[in-house]
A = this chain, B = another copy of it.
Amino acid sequence: MDFELSPLLNPESVAIIGVSKNPSRIGGRLFKYLAKHGYEGSLALVNPKYKELNGVKCYPAISDVPAPIDCALIAVPEKRVLAVLNECAGSHVKAAVIFSSGFAEMGSSGKEAQNKIQELARRKNLRVCGPNCIGLINFNNHIALSFSQLLEIDTLIPGNIGFISQSGALGGSLVNRAMDKRIGLSYFISSGNEADLEVSDYIKHLVLHDQKTKVIAAVIEGFKDGAKFIEAAELALKYRKPLIVLKIGETAAGKKAAASHTGSMTGSDSVIDAVFHQKGVMRVRNYDELFQTASVFSKERIPKGNRVGILTSTGGGGIIMADYYTKLGLEVPEPSSKTKDLATKEIATFGKVANPFDLTGQIFSDPEMFKRCMKLFVAEDNFDIIQVNVSMVAGQSSEQRASMLLDAIEGSSKPIVTWWAAGSLSEPGIKLLNGSEVALFRSPERCATAVKSMVQYYQFLETHQDSTQVGSEVDCANALSHAKDILDAADKSLSEHHSKGLLNAYGIPVTRERVANSPSEAIRFAEEIGFPLVLKIDSPDILHKSEANAIRLGVRSKEEISKVYGEIIENARQYNPDARINGVLVQEMIEGGSEVMIGMSQDPQFGPTIAFGLGGIFVEVLKDISLRVTPLSQSDAEQMVKEIKGYPILQGVRGKRRADIEAVVDVLQRISRLAQDWKDTISEIDINPLIVFDEGHGVKAADALVVLKKPAKA
């Protein structure tokens, strides 16, 4: 569903329902702030108590307003909200902001009332922001539809960052800070409880329909609809509008608080990480990082690579920045010999030209040297990004430094970032840089992290494959019908043999094996397959074969088969007398290779999720797992394998050869396809272990389990 949000975000006519002459009440503040910030459209006031307010006519009800209204601001007690909204719909109002609280955040009765708002909004095609929100601001057109004390601010600075926050108070606070730093916004939207419109709707609108928005920032507590968020993120990628998110509610304690704060679900944080990773969404971990990162992107200076040149007036500061960039995986290369020669002339005997390049105390005797050296750095081909450190300069000196910096970068399109270390004594210089072409930071860490995000984002854009294209490279032509046969025959879960049959239908190699129904059949199969063998029970009702003592490894002779066959059946029966037993699985025993595990589970918000890790302690003790949601592109699958900490083991260590990583990547994509095809049927898949042989020798699933979502048949 695509919503046209212009009547809400850029209304030509606004009504305040529940307006008040008391500026400390919501209805009063809305009126005050709308006027204060220069709203130029038409305005209707609604409140039966007044005839007029400040010379503006006041109507008893929205139905009495003669002119058409794009957006109604609803500031009435919770109990009256639905009736008022109904009236709005009847009066052809196109959108509404509901400020009132007392809905889903209050528990089940509130949730019910909120559902009614949603139902009405959808039925009447009336777009609703809120309830329990602080409203929204359109900065470029001076439209302030909010009661936040943020609007006590003198001027709203327009810009190209669209900002959406589920939390009103945090959102307002962040906007206040952005304005302090002259970071301009296109919109601030407080989405509140999201009865109708949710964060993803606003993102889609800003991507598709708002030319002025170039960067999107969001504070998100939870997603209503995971698929819609993925769709919005894909769109943002397609239109190259960076999406930066502060996702809160990571831990159990945080989630408990989140649940009582909004009606949103807060999904498993590691799955959210996976989605962000996969869809190029930049996740900031800190409140104060959101706009700092957004502001780097808002300069629209795109780095050509990851090489940072650091110009510093403090040696210690140079060390700090070089440390951060190196730790974050960026490069801090030497300048070219040409630059070195020219810069050496500048600094004479006072230092050494390198990267970081320390201008030393010499900069105080010869302030212009800064500008000349800066020009050399900006022109240097070895640098894609220029980092400037400024330390203790007071008053006019600070202004001079800032002004030289701005002069020196003229004509260049490289990203220029500055860490300004000093405090209020540098105010004149800092003021000059705020809102300029230079991204200014007060924290060196935030600076480096933002640069890293920017570099990573543009690298990501180059390699990203649209998920709508994904899946076609996996050849699974006959999989569907074969899989259907297997799944139709099962309920709850599949036996190991059937699980492997399903995997095999999707082209995933499995162990050679057959299910025997007698010792003599087992011996016949053994001769077919060859010793050594593994014998184990095959039953959809016995998932833990070791626990049941119904598995024997390293069976090496016919005599042994005769002996263990009966034991396995016997132990399985004792373990679970009601288990349906298909027979004894006679399976090749694999020697050598590395063990990995591949799993699939269903995330309540984002659907089928694939997990990958090395076997045993790596998964169980070290939790060394990578995650992605389906569908997996080839590069997703490759990333999954590479990002686990144990990856060097697959690359070959301690005399072992490189494992067949390509075959693992192939299995991951096939599992993704399988999970997508049967996402309503299969709830879990576990291949543990998948044996990975040396490069070129493929993989084999040695054990597998498929659990169904619900009984496939009665």
B169/A320 in contact, CB under 8 A: no
User: Residues 299-333 of chain A: 1 if any B CB is under 8 Å from the residue's CB, otherwise 0?
Assistant: 00000000000000111111110110111000010
Cβ of A605 < 8 Å from any Cβ of B? no
Contacts of A176 on B, CB cut-off 8 Å? 392, 422-426
Within the complex, which residue of B149, B178, B360 is in contact with A392, where a contact is CB–CB below 8 Å?
A: B149
Please, how many angstroms separate the alpha-carbon atoms of A148 and B442 in the complex?
Answer: 20
Known contacts A169-B314, A172-B392, A314-B169, A423 near B179 by CB under 8 Å: yes
Cβ of A152 < 8 Å from any Cβ of B? yes
26 examples of A-B residue contacts, CB within 8 angstroms:
A101-B361, A106-B349, A150-B422, A150-B425, A167-B316, A169-B317, A169-B421, A173-B314, A173-B423, A176-B392, A176-B422, A180-B424, A219-B316, A221-B316, A249-B319, A250-B327, A251-B326, A254-B319, A257-B322, A258-B319, A260-B351, A261-B319, A287-B320, A287-B421, A288-B445, A617-B654
A248/B319 in contact, CB under 8 A: yes
Please, how many angstroms separate the alpha-carbon atoms of A442 and B645 in the complex?
Answer: 35
Contacts of A249 on B, CB cut-off 8 Å? 319, 323
Cβ of A285 < 8 Å from any Cβ of B? yes
User: Residues 322-360 of chain A: 1 if any B CB is under 8 Å from the residue's CB, otherwise 0?
Assistant: 110111000010000000000000000111101010101
B319/A257 in contact, CB under 8 A: yes
Q: Which residue of B lies closest to A315 (CB)?
A: B261
Cβ of A443 < 8 Å from any Cβ of B? yes
B322/A253 in contact, CB under 8 A: yes
Cβ of A486 < 8 Å from any Cβ of B? no
B260/A443 in contact, CB under 8 A: no
User: Residues 144-158 of chain A: 1 if any B CB is under 8 Å from the residue's CB, otherwise 0?
Assistant: 000011101100000
Minimum C-beta distance from A4 to chain B (A)? 29
Q: Which residue of B lies closest to A546 (CB)?
A: B655
Q: Given contacts A170-B317, A248-B320, A251-B326, list 13 more A-B pairs with CB under 8 A.
A: A149-B393, A167-B316, A170-B316, A172-B422, A176-B423, A221-B319, A251-B322, A253-B326, A260-B315, A261-B358, A616-B654, A617-B646, A621-B649
* A binding-site residues for B, Cβ under 8 Å: 101, 105-106, 148-150, 152-153, 165-167, 169-170, 172-174, 176-180, 219, 221, 248-258, 260-262, 285-288, 313-320, 322-323, 325-327, 332, 349-352, 354, 356, 358, 360-361, 391-395, 397, 421-426, 442-445, 616-617, 620-622, 645-646, 648-649, 653-654
Contacts of A167 on B, CB cut-off 8 Å? 314-317
B257/A356 in contact, CB under 8 A: yes
Known contacts A261-B358, A287-B444, A423-B180, A316 near B252 by CB under 8 Å: no
Chain multiplicity (copies): 2
**Shortest Cβ-Cβ A-B pairs, 8 listed:** A167-B316, A261-B315, A169-B314, A254-B323, A176-B423, A173-B421, A169-B391, A172-B392
Minimum C-beta distance from A664 to chain B (A)? 17
Q: Which residue of B lies closest to A151 (CB)?
A: B394
Q: Which residue of B lies closest to A320 (CB)?
A: B248
A391/B173 in contact, CB under 8 A: yes
Q: Which residue of B lies closest to A398 (CB)?
A: B149
A286/B444 in contact, CB under 8 A: yes
Minimum C-beta distance from A387 to chain B (A)? 12
Q: Which residue of B lies closest to A287 (CB)?
A: B444
Within the complex, which residue of B170, B253, B322 is in contact with A391, where a contact is CB–CB below 8 Å?
A: B170
Q: Which residue, A169, A172, A262, A322, has most C-beta atoms of chain B within 10 A?
A: A169
A425/B149 in contact, CB under 8 A: yes
Minimum C-beta distance from A641 to chain B (A)? 15
Q: Which residue, A252, A319, A393, has most C-beta atoms of chain B within 10 A?
A: A319
Please, how many angstroms separate the alpha-carbon atoms of A310 and B451 in the complex?
Answer: 33
A177/B422 in contact, CB under 8 A: yes
Within the complex, which residue of B152, B253, B421 is in contact with A425, where a contact is CB–CB below 8 Å?
A: B152
Contacts of A106 on B, CB cut-off 8 Å? 349
Contacts of A174 on B, CB cut-off 8 Å? 421
B248/A323 in contact, CB under 8 A: yes
A257/B315 in contact, CB under 8 A: yes
A170/B421 in contact, CB under 8 A: yes
Contacts of A248 on B, CB cut-off 8 Å? 316, 319-320, 323
Within the complex, which residue of B152, B255, B422, B654 is in contact with A394, where a contact is CB–CB below 8 Å?
A: B152
Please, how many angstroms separate the alpha-carbon atoms of A166 and B148 in the complex?
Answer: 46
Contacts of A322 on B, CB cut-off 8 Å? 251, 253-254, 256-257
A395/B251 in contact, CB under 8 A: no
Within the complex, which residue of B149, B169, B354, B422 is in contact with A173, where a contact is CB–CB below 8 Å?
A: B422
Contacts of A443 on B, CB cut-off 8 Å? 286-288
Contacts of A325 on B, CB cut-off 8 Å? 253
Within the complex, which residue of B261, B421, B616 is in contact with A316, where a contact is CB–CB below 8 Å?
A: B261
A257/B318 in contact, CB under 8 A: yes
Q: Which residue of B lies closest to A179 (CB)?
A: B423
B445/A285 in contact, CB under 8 A: yes
Please, how many angstroms separate the alpha-carbon atoms of A166 and B649 in the complex?
Answer: 42
Minimum C-beta distance from A579 to chain B (A)? 23
B320/A260 in contact, CB under 8 A: no
Please, how many angstroms separate the alpha-carbon atoms of A317 and B424 in the complex?
Answer: 27
A260/B323 in contact, CB under 8 A: no
Contacts of A351 on B, CB cut-off 8 Å? 260
